[in-house]
Structure 1
């Protein structure tokens, strides 16, 4: 019989610190993968030196962030990084879902995934780099707050003192990530799906509908037909960003994970591809998108009380949502967005 595979050894906190010192140029996620640890374990290994464990609950953490002034908010998944600069404002708590509704920072927060958090202050050749970092039970980053030159450092330090848990544990035990779900389709429910889809009055009704019918987002898009969802070329998202910049079409860009969704609303101006990454590099908004991870793109129509909501949505090869884009809600911007979305090439069509 063939030998059973042997699990790679997991690095200890001291080994993590040594590896980080030896290879400071590596991105945190790449170093974590090379050490067979989570990204959170990299941070936890430095508790007592550059990292402090703090209360992760958004009801305590977000009001503290509001005192710091201008910061950079970062939310990511495996294929996209979404960064917005500005103050945190207008926090709305909620047991199952909370929100930050400021003009610059717009978040949907799911508190059960905010498992542990750290305040980090690292010395670099450019000075002290300060941040607040939240992770889930699997050790994956849920949300990060990075201080900017205009940030109130004294407020940051006061927040860390107020939120510190006193826990000096340098490890980060994790639970296994759930397997990617992929597309779920129930052929026997397709007629109901289409009828109920036509009757929607708000986009938030969509996930409740597909869940009730034992499907999911991607399964519904694949099954519903062109009246509701049209599959586009995998290069459509990059083309969307380029045309939005060229034609000054404002848009909304959503990137999220299980614990947080971050939204940007406004124009995009500077589009720069770099290797596999497609980037938006504007003063208060940056997007870094792994274009090579995009396996499916869909143009989706949903009815609402204010008129149709048109979205462009992309998924990776495992069926996980990477990014969504919508138009702004005012009629002129919505019309320009709908026109842009309609020009994007269908799957298999000439570019």
Structure 2
């Protein structure tokens, strides 16, 4: 190779390196400037403002406040299994328009429960659940349902909290760099467990490079006219368990919100998007035991119990209890539905993109009917103006 060619290649490589370094510095600088302007801005919202993923913004702190953990098909499951030993934690799950934060201690499964305690009568469903078990988290204070195939990156974050106390957390992200789930240590005893976990799972390559995938294309919803509505409604009426509903959607190829439009008469009543405020306010006033489900493609978190303090703040409608916080950006909600399936009444709220944000159930004892107070409260939610069937998309 001629000397001037080698020189040109070396110069090009140096310029590329400088460009990469400048780009990284630029993001760091922009992040610092934004943080100075809006110190309380959540990382997710900051990432959106800076036009990067949350994971990309987090790794700006690599080597300072952030440690990259190992990756691999089974690694997230094993980290979550070890996290059962952290004791009291705050588990945070969010989607685009909602956040659920629950403080407590996760329960561990007994050894035999992993074999015999999970839908043994439905082998296929049992096997699917078994692939997403991390040794616990089923029921109790930290109640989670995992879909680990979407978990791609894991980080340990140690930094001063807003109260001056050092915050230790495990933060997980999907292939697009979106937050899947976060766990914050909430006890002194958990600090040593956390440090040992981080040492054991520390990635030997502390690289800030993330191979992020493009967001998957959302399937186009079938036109209502392409659905055998009569058969769909008959199958809905034959549901013996509310957990069979997702299988029904798959069988008929309908989206979740589309199913509400096509439901049997009386099975899905449309309510106003802001009915969520009345639902939470009345639940607090009447001291009803409720269940709130909120999640994303990677995990669903469930709260069960009573709510007390509800209020609007920061552009969200919130539950602000000592051990449970729920933040809902209901201005982004497009529809709500009171749904009756298999003898169970629930309420679901969808955003303007047709995505499920949050769903609610009344807590009921096994093999007993749901509380009438829950049924009456949901029946009183403000109804939405009836809408004609949507045209094909």
TM-score, normalisation: structure 2:
0.80
Deviates more, 1:11-20 or 1:50-59: 11-20
CA contact (8 A) 2:31 2:50 kept: no
CA contact (8 A) 1:184 1:220 kept: no
In the other structure, the counterpart of 1:114 is: 151
Q: 1:346–1:243: structure 2 CA closer, same or farther, 3 Å change rule?
A: same
In proportion to residue count, which structure has more helix? 2
1:302 to 341, 360, 365: 341
Deviates more, 1:165-174 or 1:102-111: 165-174
For residues 235 and 31 of structure 2, the distance between their equivalents in structure 1, rounded to whole angstroms, comes to 53
Is 2:174 the partner of 1:136?
Answer: yes
In the other structure, the counterpart of 1:59 is: 77
For residues 87 and 184 of structure 1, the distance between their equivalents in structure 2, rounded to whole angstroms, comes to 43
Q: 1:184–1:87: structure 2 CA closer, same or farther, 3 Å change rule?
A: farther
Distance apart, 1:44 and its partner CA: 1.9
In the other structure, the counterpart of 1:178 is: 216
In the other structure, the counterpart of 2:195 is: 157
For residues 264 and 29 of structure 1, the distance between their equivalents in structure 2, rounded to whole angstroms, comes to 22
In the other structure, the counterpart of 1:262 is: 301
Instruction: Please provide the CA RMSD for this pair.
Output: 2.2
Is 2:290 the partner of 1:251?
Answer: yes
In the other structure, the counterpart of 1:210 is: 249
2:268 to 229, 250, 275: 229
Aligned ranges 1:11-160 → 2 under 5 Å? 12-24=23-35, 25=39, 26-55=41-70, 57-90=75-108, 94-96=130-132, 100-124=137-161, 126-150=164-188, 152-160=190-198
In the other structure, the counterpart of 1:3 is: none
Q: Could you list the per-position Cα deviations for residues 115-157 of structure 1 after superposition, in whole angstroms to 9, with x for gaps in the alignment? A: 1100001134613221100000010000000122455111110
Distance apart, 1:186 and its partner CA: 4.1
For residues 29 and 149 of structure 1, the distance between their equivalents in structure 2, rounded to whole angstroms, comes to 25
Higher CA-based Rg:
2
Distance apart, 1:313 and its partner CA: 0.2
TM-score, normalisation: structure 1:
0.89
Deviates more, 1:24-33 or 1:213-222: 24-33
Q: Could you list the per-position Cα deviations for residues 174-201 of structure 1 after superposition, in whole angstroms to 9, with x for gaps in the alignment? A: 1111244575454341111111111111
Stretches of structure 1 lacking an aligned partner (at least 5 in a row): 1-8
Q: 1:86–1:274: structure 2 CA closer, same or farther, 3 Å change rule?
A: same
Distance apart, 1:31 and its partner CA: 2.0
For residues 309 and 68 of structure 1, the distance between their equivalents in structure 2, rounded to whole angstroms, comes to 35
CA contact (8 A) 1:185 1:219 kept: no
Aligned residue pair count: 337
Distance apart, 1:35 and its partner CA: 2.3
1:206 match: secondary structure: helix
For residues 283 and 260 of structure 1, the distance between their equivalents in structure 2, rounded to whole angstroms, comes to 23
Q: 1:196–1:344: structure 2 CA closer, same or farther, 3 Å change rule?
A: same
2:67 match: secondary structure: strand
For residues 172 and 108 of structure 1, the distance between their equivalents in structure 2, rounded to whole angstroms, comes to 26
2:317 match: secondary structure: strand
